[in-house]
Structure formats: structure tokens, C-alpha cells
Amino acid sequence: MDVELLTIGAFAKAARLSPKALRLYDELGLLPPARVDPVTGYRRYAPQQVERARLVAWLRRLGMPLARIRHVCSLDAGAAAGEVRAFWARAEAETAARRDLAAFLVDHLTRKDPAMSPTIPALGMRYAAASDTGLVRESNQDTAYAGSRLLAVADGFGDEGAPASAAAVESLRRLESGGVPADGLLNVLADAVEEAGRAVHDAVGSGSAPQHAGTTLTAMLWTGSQLGLVHIGDSRVYRLRDGELFQITHDHTVVQSMVDEGRITPEEAASHPQRSLLVRALGRGADATAEMRLQDARPGDRYLLCSDGLSTVVPGDEIRRVLAAPGEPGAAVRELVALANGSGGPDNVSCVVADVVPGA
Ligand code: MG
């Protein structure tokens, strides 16, 4: 039977890999030889192993971790293609998050450079917040807040959802007082989120199932010329600029991850039974990694922060229509809450609307 097997040298040549790489793949359990001579220890390979050897080499070049390569190699071609697609979608999403952080840092450092910072015209904010139980739930576990510096929405879940969302927002409210130096915004926000995490941890500790309680937290801090954003969970921020509505935040949900990986379509996600299952949240044992962003404010910008009680039932073009209509932020939040309740009000609904206006 040895006649059919190739020596490691011949196999390496056929697979266009080095014998060293093949020995490594063997040690890692990715490509065991068809036969190892018990006396000499020589490795011998079957010709049909060439294809797998090439696949392993390509996947390593792609940067796929070894355990995942092993998994891909165990699949049939169709499923393997799906795995590679999902791996790459994840890699691109992570790159996008790093790109945002890099942009944040470039902006932050540029503003510290006296030669680069232009004179910024004085801007102010007008704002309003509303939170409503909706028509189905017995209590309101959302918390919404709008003040001269801070805008925030938190959507609590579990037995202690209400105290969790209240604790998260309350903890950020200390940012309302005291100056926020524009050049320290990133650090200020990072510290504030950590503190909010501890506050939520304490708030859910007294409940019967603290591991299943927590909250989302989506907040913006106004510096006078910019808005620093922190975001964890599936509450959202939209910006209306020049009549166009743009969703700034990315939902941290299982379903959104499936969309990102191309496993389901956005349409399937909208009606998915588990669409509210979070992959990030503030709470015990949850991944509380916050997305952070710096938004340049322009006069005329209108921001909306909302819980999923709005975005799940009110379509984007309806939200855009309400926000684009002339009127005070207070009128907009009332109309948005009414629209959610007009669609059955299945969940607690919270909205914060803030307008960037000329003059401090
Ligand atoms: Mg909700």
C-alpha cells in the first residue's frame, strides 16, 4: 500500500509547501500524515491530501485561528464556504470598529495641535426626552434622560431591569456638572462607562436572578462643539442631517451578528423571534465593551436616541418624517412615542431628541 503514498518531500512539492510547514500542521493536528513509519518515523501522505494541505495553507494566510481551521477542514465544501464567509465578515466588522477608534484618536490629537484647531463657532443644544410604558408591559424598565450636556437612553431587562437602567443613567449624570475638557473626552467616557457598569452590577445584585438582569446604555456627551458617543446593546442613535436619516450605532444583538456574517438578511432579522437577544450589555457576566465615537456637530443636526421599543415597531422612513418636520424636540419625542403606541406599543419606548443650534 506504500506504493500509493508520497514521501514528505514529494508531498511537499505537490502541495507547494515546505516539509517544515507539513510537520507543523501535523503537530497542530491540522493534517496528520496518512501513515507514520513506526520504525523510522517517516511521514507518508496520500495524494488526495494535497487539496486539504492547500486549504490549510490558504486559511492560515487568511489569519484564521488554528481551531477554526480544523473545524473548516471537517466540513463539506458548502458549509466550509459559509464558515469562511462568516469569518471574513467578522474580521471586517472588527476592522471597522478599529477604524472608528483610529478616526476618534486622529480627531482627538488633531484638536490638541494648536496649528490644526480652527476657531469653532459657538453652538448650543435644545433637547427633550420621553419614556413610556407602552400598551403591553406592566412596568417601564427604560430610562431616558436629556440635560444640557448629557443625552441617554437605557433599556433594562430581567427582574431588576428598571433599577439597572436607572443606575446606568444616574451614574452618567455626574458628567452634567463639572467641565468636560474636549481633549479628554475619550478618557472621561471610558471611565464613566466603567462606573456605570459597577453601578448596574450593584443595582441587580439584590434580585432573584442577577445574572439575567442588566441594561443597554446609549449616551452622548456634549462638549460644546462635539458629541462623544458611548453605546452598548440595542438602543440606537440616529442623526438627521440635510434631510437624511443615518443610524450611527450598530446593534449588539445575536441577530445583527448573523446579518453581518451573511447568515440571514436584514428582512429576516426584523421578524426574528430572538431579535432582542443581546451580545453586549451592562450587567453581571455580560460583555460590556462599549462602542465609542466622536461626532462633529453642525448647526441644524438633529439627533435621536431611542430604545428598541421605537425602532422595532416604527419604520425608518416614519422616524425620518417625524424628525424632519419643523418643531421643537419636545413635539418630536411625543409624536414618536405616540407612533410606537399606535403600532401596538408592545415594549417600553424611550426617545431623546436633541437639536444642534447656533449660539452657546
Ligand atoms: Mg426594549
Residue 179 lies in a domain: yes
| Among 175, 253, 252, 181, residue whose Cα is nearest residue 221 | 175
Confidence of residue 33 (pLDDT cuts 50, 70, 90): very high
Distances (CA, A) of 255 to 199, 239, 265, 325: 28, 23, 10, 32
Last residue of a domain, one of 74, 89, 104: 74
Condensed to tens digits (0 to 9), the pLDDT of residues 244-266 reads 999 999 999 999 988 888 788 88
238/126 same-domain check: yes
Residue owning grid cell 477604524:
99
216 Cα–ligand 1 center, Å: 9
Query: Rounded to whole angstroms, how far apart are CA atoms 199 and 186?
Result: 20
Distances (CA, A) of 102 to 106, 108, 228, 311: 6, 10, 14, 29
The domain spanning residue 29 has which CATH number? 1.10.1660.10
HEC states along 32-62? CCCEECCCCCCEEECHHHHHHHHHHHHHHHH
190/289 same-domain check: yes
More confident residue, 229 or 359: 229
Residue 86 lies in a domain: no
Other CB atoms within 10 Å distance of the CB of residue 305: 30
Confidence of residue 95 (pLDDT cuts 50, 70, 90): confident
CA torsion, ordered 199, 201, 206, 207, to nearest 10 deg = 120
Last residue of a domain, one of 37, 57, 74: 74
309 Cα–ligand 1 center, Å: 5
Residue 107 lies in a domain: no
329 Cα–ligand 1 center, Å: 22
Query: Rounded to whole angstroms, how far apart are CA atoms 258 and 81?
Result: 15
SS3 content of the chain, % helix, strand, coil (to 5): 45, 20, 35
150/55 same-domain check: no
Condensed to tens digits (0 to 9), the pLDDT of residues 146-203 reads 999 999 999 999 999 999 999 999 999 999 886 666 567 878 888 999 999 999 999 9
> Rounded mean pLDDT of the chain?
90
Residue 106 lies in a domain: no
Query: Rounded to whole angstroms, how far apart are CA atoms 59 and 357?
Result: 52
Is a pLDDT exceeding 60 seen at residue 231? yes
Residue 93 lies in a domain: no
Range of the domain at 313: 121-358
138/248 same-domain check: yes
133 Cα–ligand 1 center, Å: 10
Condensed to tens digits (0 to 9), the pLDDT of residues 62-75 reads 999 888 999 999 99
Query: Rounded to whole angstroms, how far apart are CA atoms 181 and 178?
Result: 9
35/178 same-domain check: no
311 Cα–ligand 1 center, Å: 9
Is a pLDDT exceeding 80 seen at residue 104? no
pTM as predicted = 0.76
235 Cα–ligand 1 center, Å: 8
62/211 same-domain check: no
61/194 same-domain check: no
User: How is the beta sheet containing 6-7 ordered, strand by strand?
Assistant: 6-7, 43-45, 35-36
57/197 same-domain check: no
39 Cα–ligand 1 center, Å: 66
154 Cα–ligand 1 center, Å: 9
44/132 same-domain check: no
The domain spanning residue 353 has which CATH number? 3.60.40.10
134/69 same-domain check: no
104 Cα–ligand 1 center, Å: 29
Last residue of a domain, one of 19, 50, 74: 74
64/209 same-domain check: no
92 Cα–ligand 1 center, Å: 28
Burial of 220 (0-12, 13-18, 19+ CB in 10 A): buried
% pLDDT > 90, the chain: 64
Strands 214-215 and 217-222: unpaired
261 Cα–ligand 1 center, Å: 24
Residue 170 lies in a domain: yes
